[in-house]
Structure 1
Amino acid sequence: MSAIRPILPVILATIFNIVGMGMVVPGLPFHVTSHGGETGVAPLIFSAFSAAAVLGAPVWGWLSDRMGRKPVLLASALLTALSYLWLANVDSLTELYASRIFAGLMAGWFAASMAYIADVTAPADRAKGMGMLGASFGIGFTIGPALGAWAVGGDNPAYALPAYAAAVCTAICALITLFFVREPERHSTDRTVRFATDVLRNADISKLLVLHFTVHLVFTAMEGVFAIWAAVKFGLGAREVGFYLAYAGLVTVIVQGGVVRRIVPVLGEGRVILIAVGLLMLTMAAVVAVSDVWMILIPMGLLAVGISLHNPAMQSLLSQVAPDQMKGGTMGNAQSAQSLARVAGPAWGAAAFSEFGPDSPFLMGFVILAGAFVFALFLSRRFTKAALASNEA
């Protein structure tokens, strides 16, 4: 427990941060249509946030290397709270998108929190720490979407209420950070490293980032079209979608809170990533096979397990591969790769949905993940031995 205790305030703060994010997610596509946006392009509201995060995350990670983790965590939380207040008061479709772009630019929390955990945990405890961070996301996305689905209502949706509540949650995150998070002593203060260029010149880091991007490309496509897929296939609305997301969040908590820390020391990060990609392939096939509402639980569960195994294993491996003076920048670039996938994923998912039918994004996702599986197999063989040696050190 002593090895994990320093990260507990960050974990608690993250839960409040993600509860806030989760509260607004179920209603965002419907918020777009309420302002006159077309159903087929509604998922692009997620791309707007992520496109901004592509630019913002590496900067936040680099700043955390130069200025410290706590100042970045605190600034990101406060500015994110402001973005929710803006979201609650938008009057047009343009302003709605602008508020989410601002939120994406301010989304430095995850990069700095990953770097924080890399600073305060030993290699043997790294996957456990990353798993706990991921579990905090799962808790947040279990509570957040459920509260957001309840708050938005049914016949007369109140889109401002979840946004105001999200601002309160993120303000609490900032207070926890201010009073309980201590600046780690081990992060690098090397000011000569350029936050993006030097990281991407590292071949091992670049290969892992390519795989990380590919996995999230498919994951975010499914996430982006899920609401409209459920509406078209089964007539579900924002409230029902929120409950399915809450179920996926619960599975995430179970996997990242308990399963990851047990299997990574045994199998190594590389093999766990390979298993995760295989499970995500099964997810895409399972979606196409859904014929009744209750069956949605199967692919949503597989999706949650797959991504819950992938993220902490990948983050742990990246933190071990990255030199000390690049840890914040590497985590920022990892978040940027994930955010870039969140731009492209919902975009091609929505395009495929509109042009080729509701199941087409999942069939395409299966093909993409098949290629990713082969690449993950190559990387697993390369990194597993080194990762196991590091865990034993």
Structure 2
Amino acid sequence: MRLPFLFVLCTVMIDAMGIGLVLPIMPELIVEVQGGSLANAAIWGGVLSTAFATMQFLFGPVLGNLSDAYGRRTVLLVSLFVMALDYVVMAIAGSIWLLLIGRIVGGITAATHSTAAAFMADVSKPHEKAANFGLLGAAFGVGFVLGPLLGGLLSEFGTRAPFWAAAGLSALGFIAGCLVMPETVTDKTRRAFNWRRANPAGSLKAIAALPGIRPMLWVYFLYSVSIYVYPAIWSYFTVERFGWSPQIIGFSLGIYGIGMAAVQGGLIRPATRYLGERVTIFAGMGFEIISFALLAFLTSGKIALMLIPITALGAVVTPALQAMMSRATPDSQQGELQGVLAALHALSMILSPLVMTSVFAQFARENAPVYLPGAPFLLALGLMLVGFVLFLRSRPAEV
């Protein structure tokens, strides 16, 4: 299973790289195809990002359910093939509407994290699940760091070069998958596809009905909304509070991405082995709570940089939560569970930036009743505390 394992990790990394690869050229590309000012391009950039995240929210459960019915191999290979074609279309797109369609299709094809996680659940022993889910998170983190870096380098060859690179990576992934990826869904675990359960609401209802799972889903969602305070306001907060340049902001985000990859790829295994999943989750949430409290009132940029590795320690929470819920879910619903988690994650990507940036704007404006650019971190702290209390009361039953 070593080669299929590596293929799935590489697929997740390609998904993450494809998202970040095109970020450096999007402002220039939108101005190129649409015209107008950079401010207008920023508006369209927000539309494209929201469309991408919305498709991930809607189609994470669909692909998860499809993988329960037709297999992980089929869903991953079809997604990679369509993804390669989609990047080719975006590479030659001459209008903003074609770019929008490309981002919509891209959001659908990149919603394979649920299928990749279901594969990990299929091939992992119960005590291995947290570590293997952590490797998925690490692969995503590596792709998230490498994507923008590679996109920035390729931008020297024009605004379309990153799309051609993303298309090539997806095509290589498809070819590799055809050669090494087996099917892990058997006739015993296969479950018929049902449209009523293949939408976020239907899948959520089915998974939440499992004993002890409902509060865990709330914990997962609250945690996701909380930690998205970082990408939502970090660039604005660090300029307002510390006067950072774009180079320092990029450097700090790179440190965070590398830290998350290291934590989820390496630390999660010994943490769950020696502490257990519950204590690991408590510790991870505790690190986040401390970080939020400090960042809310911090005025030193140097201390903020030193704090980043501590904030990255909170990344142990997601794989440990996934492992606990996976063990409480029947084998025939592993794809459905991971689809629900992918949908909740995507929903947090939609909601958190809207809420956190609004809070930042209210407390960072000139005539604010209380000047506190770190106010979004206090909101994130409150949400994390609610999740902490809910987790104290949750006890999912294993199947």
**Shift of the alpha carbon at 1:110?**
0.6
| Residue matched to 2:219 | 211
| Residue matched to 1:21 | 19
Equivalent residue pairs, number: 377
Correspondence 1:376-387 to 2 at 5 A: 376-379=391-394, 382-383=395-396
**Shift of the alpha carbon at 1:339?**
0.7
Q: Deviations over 1:34-92 (max 9, x none)?
A: 65348699666543322221110000000000000011111222333344445545566
* Partners of 2:224 and 2:348 within 8 A in 1: yes
Q: Structure 1 residues 173, 241: CA separation in 2 closer, same or farther (over 3 Å shift)?
A: farther
Q: Structure 1 residues 13, 94: CA separation in 2 closer, same or farther (over 3 Å shift)?
A: closer
| Residue matched to 1:301 | 309
Q: Structure 1 residues 294, 100: CA separation in 2 closer, same or farther (over 3 Å shift)?
A: farther
* Partners of 1:221 and 1:342 within 8 A in 2: no
Q: Specify which of 352, 367, 375 is matched with residue 390 of structure 2.
A: 375
| Residue matched to 2:368 | none
Q: Structure 1 residues 246, 340: CA separation in 2 closer, same or farther (over 3 Å shift)?
A: same
**What is the rounded CA distance, in whole Å, between the counterparts of 1:102 and 1:360 in structure 2?**
36
Q: Structure 1 residues 159, 371: CA separation in 2 closer, same or farther (over 3 Å shift)?
A: farther
Q: Specify which of 346, 349, 352 is matched with residue 345 of structure 1.
A: 352
2:217 corresponds to 1:247: no
Secondary structure, counterpart of 2:219 in structure 1: helix
Query: Which region of structure 1 is more displaced relative to structure 2, 289-298 or 326-335?
Result: 289-298
For structure 2, the 5+ residue unaligned runs are: 32-36, 365-372
| Residue matched to 1:364 | 379
Q: Structure 1 residues 220, 190: CA separation in 2 closer, same or farther (over 3 Å shift)?
A: same
Q: Specify which of 112, 115, 118 is matched with residue 118 of structure 2.
A: 115
**What is the rounded CA distance, in whole Å, between the counterparts of 1:243 and 1:165 in structure 2?**
23
Q: TM-score, normalised by structure 1?
A: 0.84
For 1:345, the aligned partner's letter is S
| Residue matched to 2:172 | 172
* Partners of 1:142 and 1:248 within 8 A in 2: no
For 1:367, the aligned partner's letter is G
* Partners of 1:76 and 1:106 within 8 A in 2: yes
The root-mean-square deviation of aligned C-alpha atoms, in Å, is 3.1
* Partners of 1:112 and 1:332 within 8 A in 2: yes
Secondary structure, counterpart of 1:36 in structure 2: helix
Q: TM-score, normalised by structure 2?
A: 0.83
For 1:114, the aligned partner's letter is A
| Residue matched to 1:54 | 57
* Partners of 1:110 and 1:335 within 8 A in 2: yes
Secondary structure, counterpart of 2:245 in structure 1: coil
| Residue matched to 1:190 | 191
Q: Deviations over 1:263-319 (max 9, x none)?
A: 11222222222222222222222333443444442343333221x201211111121
Q: Specify which of 74, 77, 91 is matched with residue 74 of structure 1.
A: 77
Q: Structure 1 residues 351, 45: CA separation in 2 closer, same or farther (over 3 Å shift)?
A: farther
For 1:171, the aligned partner's letter is A
* Partners of 1:224 and 1:345 within 8 A in 2: yes
For 2:350, the aligned partner's letter is V
Q: Structure 1 residues 236, 203: CA separation in 2 closer, same or farther (over 3 Å shift)?
A: farther
* Partners of 1:286 and 1:298 within 8 A in 2: no
**What is the rounded CA distance, in whole Å, between the counterparts of 2:335 and 2:121 in structure 1?**
9
* Partners of 1:29 and 1:43 within 8 A in 2: no
**What is the rounded CA distance, in whole Å, between the counterparts of 1:93 and 1:351 in structure 2?**
27
Q: Deviations over 1:308-364 (max 9, x none)?
A: 201211111121111111110011001001111111011111222222224222221
For structure 1, the 5+ residue unaligned runs are: none
**What is the rounded CA distance, in whole Å, between the counterparts of 1:90 and 1:289 in structure 2?**
45
**What is the rounded CA distance, in whole Å, between the counterparts of 2:163 and 2:309 in structure 1?**
27
For 2:181, the aligned partner's letter is V
For 1:236, the aligned partner's letter is S
**Shift of the alpha carbon at 1:111?**
0.4
| Residue matched to 1:64 | 67
**What is the rounded CA distance, in whole Å, between the counterparts of 1:134 and 1:276 in structure 2?**
15
Q: Deviations over 1:160-192 (max 9, x none)?
A: 443433333233222222222211155721217
Q: Deviations over 1:201-224 (max 9, x none)?
A: 225222221111111112223212
**Shift of the alpha carbon at 1:94?**
5.8
| Residue matched to 1:7 | 5
Correspondence 1:142-157 to 2 at 5 A: 142-152=145-155
**What is the rounded CA distance, in whole Å, between the counterparts of 2:42 and 2:153 in structure 1?**
22
* Partners of 2:61 and 2:343 within 8 A in 1: yes
